[in-house]
Structure 1
């Protein structure tokens, strides 16, 4: 086991087999979602470094911090690739909320046993926590039900849908075209600078927990436990304390 994979297992507090079977991937995804936050602090601070395997390792594993989709999903892509899976990074376009930006969500396509799946650990708290097949099959998760349907238009050929209480909501559309690290840096630049970006306006830090999820903003802390929501206003001192104690992020 190399230094990168060992660092990843340590970061997500994974103590299972180091020979990652397909059935182990959901466990990795849940551990990832609990321990590596979805957060936009670098965007708010106008940080402009390039996105690469090396910078992701430094930020997410060694520092340790969280990040947005163009950091979280590529990190997991590199992990899956290192342990022997057939994967590629792809770009998707968010449908809800509609902001006009195209191709700025990054996800991972995994091909295993002649089936193709999307694997996403970088979509805030809306995570399936397991690979979703591109067959239309609905999969169930603690965060809801998900499926991928094929479309026939000139913009995308697949759509990820979330089903909640019988209501179907499309999350994003995508093709199977691969993207590279240069594209990731381009997405980071757009998310940081473009006025249509939803992530360059105010602080957002969120992660899953065993019982739900927790979200921190500049002024509030919101925690959902077993479907019960608790929201409290906070001051700057409490914000820094919560950032450190609940998310493991120091000195921001």
Structure 2
């Protein structure tokens, strides 16, 4: 795995359009989260097109920064971890069990998601720029039973039999996102789940196409051929993409993804349900 010393910090900040303060403060942390979430989208184009995701820092910078692509949780948060370490933040990598879409919080899914815990200015905060359609564009205090507002949905953390349960208020319903504990993870701990999720023939990252991005007052989501805009406090607007050309235009304009290097995308469009 790459180290923080291998990071090109200037190129990263150029990529996310950030030219603000770089001191290790809560304000800086929240600002980086916002800029990152709006500039680097969640997407699984490589696994969908048959290329496993690589998690070394050189590959992450080449893909997410230089090639103006996006990625999923391991890619996004490992890159962000390197950035925060370079800036002097106290960062702990964590793993979560995804509950989004599960019928109950009692479901025990594998630890297939990555998030970060940052100790900053006497506070503990979680930061997560890689959870698809519910990606955070700010940080949350690590405290339970408190509703925490963001630029989009309110979030909260609850105690779930010793784990932290993250929920979001979607419409008028609190919906579970994932559960996690504070066991520190190392970059190598993500290699096995990353390989599984990006290569297993039954993985939804291999069989389907997903993309998501945070924007001002709205979220953009792509699931297969369905593109959806979720405005804050308004009705969602859905559009069915009917051709590979429409898909490329959507990825470029709404998700800010450079599709020029994606071989086989046009052919793969016809595999989408």
| TM-score (norm. length: structure 1) | 0.88
Q: Structure 1 residues 171, 196: closer, same or farther in 2, change over 3 A?
A: farther
Deviations 1:195-219 (Å, cap 9, x if unpaired)? 6633222111111111302223442
Matched, 1:172 2:181: no
Single out whichever of 30-39 and 110-119 deviates more from structure 2: 110-119
Q: Taking structure 1 as reference, are residues 125 and 218 closer, same or farther at Cα in structure 2, changes over 3 Å only?
A: closer
Answer yes or no: is 1:228 the counterpart of 2:235: yes
User: Aligned residue for 1:44?
Assistant: 48
Confirm whether residue 191 of structure 1 aligns to residue 197 of structure 2: yes
- Would you identify which runs of 4 or more consecutive aligned residues in structure 1 move more than 4 Å? none
Q: Which residue of 1 aligns with 2:12?
A: 8
Q: Give secondary structure in 2 for the equivalent of 1:117.
A: strand
Aligned pairs for 1:37-116 within 5 A: 37-48=41-52, 50-98=54-102, 101-116=109-124
Over 3 Å counting, the alpha-carbon distance change for 1:101 and 1:3 in structure 2 is closer
Query: Higher mean Cα deviation, 27-36 or 161-170?
Result: 161-170
CA contact (8 A) 1:101 1:196 kept: no
Whether the 8 Å contact between 2:97 and 2:112 is mirrored in structure 1 is yes
User: Is the Cα–Cα contact under 8 Å of residues 70 and 187 in structure 1 kept in the other structure?
Assistant: no
State TM-score, norm by structure 2.
0.82
Instruction: Indicate the SS of the match to 2:126.
Output: strand
More displaced 10-residue stretch of structure 1: 102-111 or 123-132: 123-132
CA contact (8 A) 1:11 1:61 kept: yes
SS in 1 for 2:174: strand
Work out whether 1:143 is the aligned partner of 2:152.
yes
Counterpart selection for 2:28 from 24, 31, 38: 24
Say what the alpha-carbon RMSD is for the aligned residues. Answer: 2.3
Greater CA drift, 30-39 or 144-153: 144-153
CA pair 146-86 structure 1, distance change in 2 beyond 3 A: same
CA 185–3 in structure 1, closer or farther in 2 if over 3 Å, else same: closer
Aligned to 2:247: 239
1:127 correspondence with 2:131: no
Maintained 8 Å contact 1:87/1:108: yes
Gaps of 5+ in 2: 1-5, 263-273
